[in-house]
Amino acid sequence: MTTEMLQVIRTDGTVHGKPEPPLPEELLRRFYRTMIQVRALDEKGMLLQRTGRIGFYVPSGGQEAAQVGAAAALEAQDWIFPTYRDPGMAIWKGASLTEMIAHEFGFATDRCKGRQMPNHYAFKELKYVSISSPIATQLPQAEGCAMAIKIKGTNEIVLGCMGDGGTSEGDFHVAMNFAGVFKSPIVFYCQNNQWAISVPLKGQTASESIAIKAKAYGFPGIQCDGNDVLAVYKAVKEAVDRARSGGGPSFVEALTYRMGPHSSSDDPKRYRPAAEEEEWRRKDPIDRFRKYLQKQGIWTEAFEKETWDKAREAVNEAVKEVEKAGPPAVHTMFEEVYKEMPAELAEQQRGLIEYLKTGEIKDSGEAFPL
């Protein structure tokens, strides 16, 4: 059995034999703006880490289309259980760029108050669930959410995200099997970026594709070109519509590439061929979609400049605003643990505050130490 890859836009921007999804021009422009916003955030994030202003960053360059196309296929009421390489999904959902950057710093305006790893965003009102750092642990959680939706009978679906490395974990198989048996309203979504840190795809699976694994669990699996935002949108939208109409789960594998390091702590040159990187850079999802928009008469040089200028300006302004806030006070570690702080914790907090006044130790508010 073979898996045919869905593709809409070729690398030169021309349309493949598959029909384009009928989308309005403004939505296509929004796709492009959001992809560039993700790239601009990445540029700044790595610069901030390399200059010592933040402690850690997880880039997602090369995967912008895979993030934006998938998120665009959802409705406002739908849930996302993301990975730490999905900032484009949060941005598409309406997350505050300032809050996202505050999270990178772990500063006072960070919702997590510096208690969560950077790039592990959470936005309750957007149903963008707190990211799990252990690989694939979010998938049984996503399936549990989907089962709750099925029991309650609400018109929601769940997008359960993973990378190719996540499909080697037991949690992946548990979630897939449960979803197949109970026909829950979930779309499993794998961004196959070819490398799980330093382990290549051939070290993850002997299957001819990752998408084909869905067959064993009794539901459809489809592979799409993850650097083609329209192919991703089409594949995920069909799976979302199927789940919402009661058709049960689907699995979508988006073939893409992590163009940078796994994180700011990683050096991909130690394990990845330079020729492979160069080959995938020629498939850059932003370049491809720009060529498509140009051929459609939508793209202009003025639109390009305006989009990049606004994206970088928004990131820079957010950084300035966040840095004014500074890190959270150390005594806040006692807060937001319980709905009502127990007396013994309140006493410890008061004791710490008084001790800090002596000057014997300093409330340093250090950046995340990675």
Distance CA 212, CA 201 (A): 15
DSSP letter for each residue of 260-329: S-SSTT--GGGTS-HHHHHHHHTT-HHHHHHHHHHHTT---HHHHHHHHHHHHHHHHHHHHHHHHH-PPP
Residue ranges of alpha helices (H) inside 188-251 are 229-244
Does the active-site annotation cover 271? Answer: yes
Residue of 262, 288, 290, 292 marked catalytic: 262
Collapse the DSSP code of 158 into the 3-class scheme (helix H, G, I; strand E, B; otherwise coil) and give the result.
strand
| Burial category of 58 from C-beta neighbours within 10 Å (exposed 0-12, middle 13-18, buried 19 and up) | buried
Q: What is the pLDDT of residue 370?
A: 47
* Cα distance between the two ends of the chain: 44
Q: What is the pLDDT of residue 281?
A: 95
Confidence of residue 366 (pLDDT cuts 50, 70, 90): low
Give percent of the chain above pLDDT 90.
Answer: 87
Annotated active-site residue in 33, 85, 258, 288: 258
- Percentage of residues of the chain with pLDDT beyond 70: 97
CB neighbours of 57 closer than 8 A, spacing ≥ 6?
45, 46, 48, 49, 104, 118, 119, 263, 264
Quick check: 104 and 42 in contact, CB under 8 A?
Answer: no
User: Would you report the helix, strand and coil content of the chain in percent, each value rounded to 5?
Assistant: 50, 10, 40
Kindly state the average pLDDT of the residues 159-188.
98
Residue keyed to tokens 């490395």: 165
Of the candidates 67, 86, 364, 87, which has an alpha carbon nearest to the alpha carbon of residue 229? 67
Q: What is the pTM of this model?
A: 0.94
> pLDDT band at residue 363, thresholds of 50, 70 and 90?
low
Considering Cα of 108, then 113, then 118, then 124, what sign does the dihedral take? negative
Structure token pair of residue 360: 């014997």
| Residue 331 falls in the annotated catalytic set | no
Of 138, 139, 41, 135, the C-alpha closest to 87 is 41
The ranges assigned to domains in the chain are 5-325, 333-370
Q: Is 121 a catalytic residue?
A: no
For the segment 263-281, what is each residue's pLDDT rounded down to a tens digit?
A: 999 999 999 999 999 999 9
Question: What whole-number distance in Å separates Cα of residue 165 and Cα of residue 252?
Answer: 15
**Sign of the torsion angle spanned by Cα atoms 236, 241, 242, 247:** positive
- Residue 322's pLDDT is 96
Residue 19: predicted pLDDT: 74
Which residues neighbour 75 within 8 Å (Cβ) at sequence distance 6 or greater? Answer: 240
Domain 5-325 - what CATH class? alpha beta
Q: Match 């919402």 to its residue by tokens.
A: 244
